[in-house]
Amino acid sequence: MCGIWALFGSDECLSVQCLSAMKIAHRGPDAFRFENVNGFTNCCFGFHRLAVVDQLYGMQPIRVKKFPYLWLCYNGEIYNFKQLQKQFGFEYQTLVDGEVILHLYNRGGIEQTASMLDGVFAFILLDTANRKVFLARDTYGVRPLFKVLTDDGFLGVCSEAKGLINLKHSTSICSKVEPFLPGHYEVLDLKPSGKVASVELVKFHSYKDEPLHVACDTVETLPSGSFDLETVKSNIRILFENAVRKRLMAHRRIGCLLSGGLDSSLVAAVLLKLMKEININYPLQTFAIGMENSPDLLAARKVAAHIGSEHHEVIFNSEEGIQAIEEVIFSLETYDITTVRASIGMYLVSKYIRKKTDSVVIFSGEGSDELTQGYIYFHKAPSPEEAAEESERLLKELYLFDVLRADRTTAAHGLELRVPFLDHRFTSYYLSLPAELRIPKNGIEKYLLRQSFEGSNLLPKEILWRPKEAFSDGIASVKKSWFSILQDYIDQQVDDLLLEKAVEKYPFNTPKTKESYYYRQIFEKHYSGQSNWLPHYWMPKWVKATDPSARTLKHYKSATQE
């Protein structure tokens, strides 16, 4: 996890523009480099480094003797860089996994490069010999990327929007800062003046398609075309374990977030099992956060005891959570209600990890709810086909919601997140299964995933079959939800009259509650006029919900009252 920043065709002094690059210093606390591009005095790269691999030669932009005309600034992890080296006979100059991007590009161009990378990434690749700039982002947008491109060809690129919003340019108003779309690459021509012109934006991978890099995966070919239940369950176990195994690539200590829910518990259990197998000589640290006696803390305790991790509990009170709201919204760059709620706990636990431990590479369970239909409202899906469509929509929008939350809250404290549920091969296989296999069954969501690990003894049975509890709900008690605590506080902060006139002040995504108005006010304070970064609020489907919390849904209420 790093922070990348680049400008092409800047009219202003680069030493002044460089101040914007410092806005993302939290993403790379170990080192910083600012480098001009030879022959293009108004083009530059900025890089904040979190040293996870090759601590000696890992600074960026990466340049190697074999390709002196290529400059690479990237944020991510490429898990198959050694397999690609073996397959194509690449000769690496460093131990940095991202160096493979240079070799792939030289061999087959940008399309093959983006398609063959098994990992999470956002990169800026400059080819001065052919005067091209390339931008690319992984399938689910696990690694963030933003850009701004003006009509006269000034381009700014950054890991977070906050590194672009204050850039200076000769035209009085800079164009809109926008998130770069996941699963796409963009080709831009670099003019002698240093300005650029966009040539094409190409979608290189759809999450439903088996990725091209399967050809050099470490897992053997799976039985294809067979949807026999035992075969399916076996394949799910094999691919999930493989997803965790490939993410063990790190020279820094590995830890794991553990809420005690199914997703983080499976990740932690498989992670610890594999760490033992490859003789990693330190205990796995697991981290849970919640208010005193919250459901998440109690469940996480059970899991940690079962798997034998070195478990840490972070207990916070409502005042600490409320005090963190503004810094959380600044870090997130969004005002989405459920994202803000869930981010506060994750932000506080990440802060603890950074200050109190030496774990840096942090595993987490993001992506499972979207992939395996884990949200409670999936019980109300009219048909398996509509449930499958909704699952795909949620995956497509992950970069706006849960993936955004997971990245920003951990990156704010210089941690690197790893999310095995969003492994390309695992997700494409799961999505290839018949729609009726993936729906909730017997009143239980993620039924197939749970079934697949039954009998493995990885988790206690009550955890494997624990009902869905949203992270922002599970950190508080059942008697009073976290969202209720927030709403009670905010009710005193926002006047009724302000909410009544909300449509005049905020015509786009107009806040309907005092809570959403409060978050929007804070967002606009830091990112005025950028409300379009959030196309719509996250809300459950097929139910008449006025709040995104699962605890407001009938299914949850009936389950807790039984």
pTM of the predicted structure, to 2 decimals: 0.94
Q: Which are the contacts of 284, defined by CB distance < 8 A and separation ≥ 6?
A: 254, 255, 256, 268, 271, 272, 275, 307, 309, 310
Same domain? 194 vs 240? no
pLDDT, one tens digit per residue, over 410-436 is 999 999 999 999 999 999 999 999 999
Alpha-helix runs per DSSP H in 49-202: 81-88, 99-116
> CA 468 → CA 104, 296, 464, distances in Å?
42, 11, 11
Pick the last residue of a domain from 187, 203, 219. 203
pLDDT, one tens digit per residue, over 527-544 is 999 999 999 999 999 988
Residue 69, token pair as written in the block: 């005309």
Same domain? 198 vs 235? no
Same domain? 315 vs 429? yes
289 is in an annotated binding site: yes
pLDDT of residue 339 exceeding 60, the answer is yes
Q: Which are the contacts of 57, defined by CB distance < 8 A and separation ≥ 6?
A: 93, 94, 95, 96
How many CB atoms are located within 10 Å of the residue 391 CB?
24
Measure the CA–CA gap between 420 and 246, rounded to whole angstroms: 9
219 within domain boundaries: no
CATH number at 472 reads 3.40.50.620
389 within domain boundaries: yes
Same domain? 21 vs 148? yes
End-to-end CA distance of the chain: 44
Measure the CA–CA gap between 487 and 470, rounded to whole angstroms: 17
Same domain? 146 vs 292? no
Same domain? 181 vs 236? no
462 within domain boundaries: no
pLDDT of residue 561 exceeding 50, the answer is no
Active-site choice (2, 43, 44, 256): 2
Q: What is the rounded average pLDDT for all residues in the chain?
A: 92
Measure the CA–CA gap between 148 and 135, rounded to whole angstroms: 12
Distance of CA 299 to the CA centre of its chain: 24
Catalytic residue at 2? yes
The residue behind tokens 């969003």 is: 422
296 is in an annotated binding site: no
Same domain? 284 vs 342? yes
Same domain? 178 vs 251? no
The number of distinct structural domains making up the chain is 2
Coil, strand, or helix at residue 70?
strand
Cα R_g (the chain), whole angstroms: 23
What is residue 319's predicted lDDT score, i.e. its pLDDT? Answer: 94
pLDDT of residue 215 exceeding 90, the answer is no
Q: Is the peptide bond before 192 cis (omega within 30 degrees of 0)?
A: no
562 within domain boundaries: no
Q: Whole domain around residue 501: which residue ranges?
A: 227-457+467-553
Enumerate the β-bridge partners of residue 532: none
Higher per-residue confidence, 517 vs 29: 517
Same domain? 332 vs 186? no
Of the candidates 392, 424, 393, 420, the residue with the CA atom closest to the CA atom of residue 406: 420
Coil, strand, or helix at residue 501?
coil
218 within domain boundaries: no
H/E run at residue 193: none
- % residues pLDDT > 70 (the chain): 93
pLDDT, one tens digit per residue, over 257-289 is 999 999 999 999 999 999 999 999 999 999 999
209 within domain boundaries: no
DSSP 8-state symbol, 458: S
222 within domain boundaries: no
Higher per-residue confidence, 221 vs 522: 522
365 is in an annotated binding site: yes
Same domain? 245 vs 393? yes
Of the candidates 89, 73, 92, the residue with the CA atom closest to the CA atom of residue 33: 73
The values of phi and psi at residue 185, to 5°, are -130, 155
Coil, strand, or helix at residue 86?
helix
Same domain? 307 vs 452? yes
What is residue 504's predicted lDDT score, i.e. its pLDDT? Answer: 97
- The arithmetic mean of pLDDT across residues 165-184, rounded, is 84
pLDDT of residue 468 exceeding 80, the answer is no
pLDDT of residue 548 exceeding 80, the answer is no
Measure the CA–CA gap between 421 and 371, rounded to whole angstroms: 8
Pick the last residue of a domain from 168, 203, 238. 203
Residue 556: band (very low, low, confident or very high) from pLDDT cuts 50, 70, 90 = very low
CATH number at 56 reads 3.60.20.10
> CA 404 → CA 286, 333, 421, distances in Å?
22, 9, 15
> CA 534 → CA 264, 336, 398, 529, distances in Å?
27, 7, 12, 12
213 within domain boundaries: no
Residue 308, token pair as written in the block: 């034998």
What is residue 145's predicted lDDT score, i.e. its pLDDT? Answer: 98
Same domain? 383 vs 448? yes
- The arithmetic mean of pLDDT across residues 46-58, rounded, is 71
